[in-house]
Structures are given as structure tokens and as C-alpha cells.
Homo-oligomer: A and B are copies of this chain.
Amino acid sequence: MPTKRVTILGAKGAMGVFFQSWLSRNGHDVTGIDKEDWSQAESLVAHSDLVLVAVPIAVTCEVIRQIAPLLDGTTVLADITSVKQEPVATMLSCYAGPVVGLHPMFGPTSTSVRNQVLINCGGRQPDQLEWLFDLWRYREGTVLESTPTEHDHMMATIQAARHFSTFAFGCHLHNEDVDLNRTLAFTSPIYRLELGMVGRLFAQQPELYAEIIYRSDEGKQILRRYHEFFGKLLQELEDDNRSKFIERFNDTRSWFGPLAGEFLDESSLMLNAATLARNSPRKLIDAVDQVTE
């Protein structure tokens, strides 16, 4: 594969670091620039095959507007922000060359693209980025085709609404001043895993979560409906309406279909791994390393 010249804007951000490292290791000629090197942007981007915008969501569209006039019309302009409608529309309106909206569906703690999903929301002449998609698949990752509209709808469900619920549950535990260490002594493996999912959110950057949650108008609508629905179910609980609980449970089980059983099998395996993670983390790390190498 010919070497591509890639410029990453926001190279010091976590995902910028990931892409710079991954593309370099795969033989491409990558230059990362960040805020303090901005003056070099013009000379660099003019000779790039790909300019990858990896800056924080809040400044993505502004950076796109600044960079687009510097490109020569053959360079691919792409972004990796976790919302897609607005950045892709901005790229299409500011630039006449190839445009691709991307969203890598994993965090910067991953070290390879193996088994990882990259969403390709297209834009204009997305085939100009086929070399990157081919590399992604060659390294055993998955490239999923979507559109900015479908992507943002999915993210409202998968990210905005889900992260907000997790945030709310963590704040609630704080609000109730639950004795976490004592609950952990009582813990079932599933509770520890669920609490771990809550705790890990708070070990990360609030600004990132604020962006994902506050940017999604559709997420807010979903959450408003969820809150109302939760209130209805809670009323049924307070009314001691067990038969309604069982009816809803069975309806939802049917709606999940074969996935419910698959999730049970998969998560039972995960729970065994979780118990191991808690008691012998070194052994699990070694076991996972051994089979992921």
C-alpha cells in the first residue's frame, strides 16, 4: 500500500494520539498538530492525502471552517467527532473535495483496532478513503456504513441517553450517601460489574460526557420519555401490581427474542471473568493477553 500523508488536527487529544500512533505503525507519514502548532497548519494540510479533525466536539465545526479553505480539493477532509450531522454538513458546505464523517466506536484505552467498529457516515467521494477502510479491515476491525442522520439517532440511544442514566445513577448513589465499600462486601458479581460501569464513567472527563449528552436533542427527548415511563412503572410498583410487572417482563422478554438468552450466556461468562478480575486480576490479564495477541 502506498504511503499516505496524513495530518491530524488535535494530535494531543486521546483519539488523536491513537490515530497518529496507529497510522504511523502502519507505515503512513503522519504529522500531528495541536493548538500551539496552528501556525504550521497551512503548509502541512496543503500537501496531505487526509486531514483528520480530532479536536473536541465543541470546536470541531470552527476548526473545519478554518481548515477547509487551505485544502487543495484532492485532500480528504474527515472528522472523528461523536456527533455527525452538523460536522458533515459543515464539511460539505465549506469544502468542495472529498468529505467523510467518521466515528470510531471505542475509547482511547484500546491499543489496536481488532474487533473495533469504525462508523463511516460518508459525505462526498468517501471511496477516496477506501485505503483507510481496507487497512482497518486488514487489521481485523469492522467498518460500518451509515448516514449522519441514522448515526445521530443511534448515538442518542446508545450514548446520550445511556450515559446520562449512568451519570444520574452515580449522582443518586452520592445523594443517598450509600456506603460503597460496604455494598461491595455484600456484592453479587453482577452488582460489582454494574457499579463498575457507573464508577468508570466518573473516572473520565466530565467535558466529554457533557458534550455527548448536551449536544443530542434527540437524547433529551428520549430521556424525557424514559423519565415519564419510569414514573408509570414505579406507580405500578407502589400499587403492588405484580401481575402487570410479570406481564411487562414477559412482553419485553419476547421483544428481546433470542438476544435475551444470548446475553445471559455471554454475561454469565463475563461474570466469571469479573470474579476472576476481582480476585486474580493478573491471571485474567495474562489469559486475555495470551489469546488477544
Contacts and interface: CB of A to CB of B under 8 A. Distances in A.
Copies of this chain held together in the complex: 2
A167 interface: yes
B269 A281 contact: yes
Contacts of A210: 242, 245-246, 249
Interface string A174-211: 11101011110111111101111111101110110110
Contact of A264 (B117, B200, B225, B276): B200
Interface stretch (A4-12, A60-68, A254-262): A254-262
B245 A234 contact: no
A52 to B, nearest CB: 20
9 contacts: A105-B187, A115-B276, A168-B226, A171-B248, A172-B226, A206-B246, A266-B278, A269-B285, A287-B288
A223 B237 contact: yes
Given A229-B168, A229-B171, A196 B266 contact: yes
B188 A158 contact: yes
Given A158-B187, A206-B249, 19 more contacts: A158-B183, A158-B188, A159-B188, A174-B255, A175-B225, A176-B222, A181-B259, A196-B270, A199-B259, A199-B264, A200-B267, A203-B261, A203-B264, A210-B246, A213-B237, A270-B274, A273-B277, A273-B284, A287-B291
Contacts of A139: none
B195 A263 contact: yes
Interface string A84-110: 000000000000000000000111010
